[in-house]
């Protein structure tokens, strides 16, 4: 067993912890996060001229959980075990400085055809037209191979030269080894270097995602 009796002195003799500028910048400090509105048509999109970060992914992939855990709030973006429910674009104002946009989840088999079509129209219209969209974060499930729809969306974003980041979430459900394999597969299928793993449970990966967001906001 370790003897801790000397630990106090040991601590006293340690140099003070200096936080480097790089470390200070590691996490964005969230001072406010508020739901703005649900948009069903283009007229509903916010008029406030702020950069926007969109979150895209298959229903139930962990989109809302990612947004909530990035912001460090519970239940701002609604998490649900009933996939395919959100059919609007949901806007959140962060630090009064930029918007997070929660796009409806795609590829849910039990959603009626008309809704599927309207997803395509709504989301594509937004992605294609919105000039202030500075980053599209596409979420995939690290446990599964990206689906055809994941790949189609990714190709579409690349074709239209939209800045994007792939986040492979639910990483806590895989061993390190399986996670490495999964990421290699995503790299290969999606032909991109910009893949980061994430877990909404442990929040591992939060730095990387925030860094990408910060970078996109800086460029904007
Ligand atoms: N273990 C684990 N579960 C997650 C993670 N992210 C989401 N989930 C779970 O997956 C389900 C769907 O998540 P949700 O955020 O509602 O997905 P959405 O439909 O894409 O918004 C919920 O039961 C979440 O608790 C994660 O990183 N790890
Ligand atoms: Mg959701």
Q: What is the pLDDT of residues 152-171, one digit of tens each?
A: 889 989 999 999 999 999 99
Average model confidence (pLDDT) across the chain? 83
Q: Whose atoms come closest to the Cα of 61: which ligand?
A: 1
Mean pLDDT of 80-85: 52
pLDDT for the residue numbered 109 = 57
Atom 13, ligand 1: residue with shortest CA distance:
62
Q: What confidence tier does 9 reach under pLDDT thresholds 50, 70, 90?
A: very low
Q: What confidence tier does 115 reach under pLDDT thresholds 50, 70, 90?
A: low
3-class SS of residue 135: strand
Q: Which two tokens stand for residue 43?
A: 């007229």
Q: Ligand 1, from 62, 68, 153: best to mutate by most atoms within 8 Å of Cβ?
A: 62
Cα separations (Å) of 5 from 12, 16, 134? 13, 21, 54
Q: How many residues does the chain have?
A: 220
Atom 26, ligand 1: residue with shortest CA distance:
170
CATH numbers and ranges of domains, the chain: 8-219 (3.40.50.300)
Tell me which residues have their CB closer than 6 angstroms to ligand 1: 57, 59-65, 79-81, 83, 105, 169-170, 172-173, 199-201
pLDDT tens digits along 14-70? 444 444 455 445 567 899 999 999 998 999 999 999 999 999 998 889 999 999 999
pLDDT for the residue numbered 42 = 93
CA dist., res. 54 & res. 103, Å (int): 7
Atom 6, ligand 1: residue with shortest CA distance:
62
């Amino acid at each position: 067993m370790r003897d801790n009796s000397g630990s106090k002195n040991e601590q006293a003799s340690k140099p003070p912890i200096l936080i480097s500028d790089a470390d200070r910048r590691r996490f964005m400090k969230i001072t406010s996060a508020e739901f703005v509105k649900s948009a069903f048509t283009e007229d509903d999109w916010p008029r406030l001229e702020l950069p926007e970060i969109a979150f895209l992914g298959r229903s139930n992939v962990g989109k809302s959980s990612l947004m909530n855990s990035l912001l460090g709030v519970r239940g701002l973006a609604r998490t649900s075990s009933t996939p395919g429910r959100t059919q609007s674009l949901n806007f959140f104002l962060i630090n009064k400085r930029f918007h997070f946009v929660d796009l409806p989840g795609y590829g849910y088999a039990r959603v009626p055809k008309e809704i599927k079509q309207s997803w395509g129209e709504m989301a594509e219209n937004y992605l294609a037209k919105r000039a202030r969209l500075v980053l599209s974060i596409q979420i995939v499930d690290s446990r599964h191979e990206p689906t055809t729809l994941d790949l189609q969306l990714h190709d579409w974003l690349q074709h239209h030269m939209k800045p994007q980041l792939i986040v492979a979430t639910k990483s806590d459900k895989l061993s390190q080894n399986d996670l490495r394999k999964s990421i290699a597969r995503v790299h290969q299928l999606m032909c991109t270097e910009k893949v980061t793993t994430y877990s909404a449970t442990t929040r591992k990966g939060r730095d990387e995602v925030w860094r990408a967001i910060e970078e996109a906001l800086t460029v904007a």
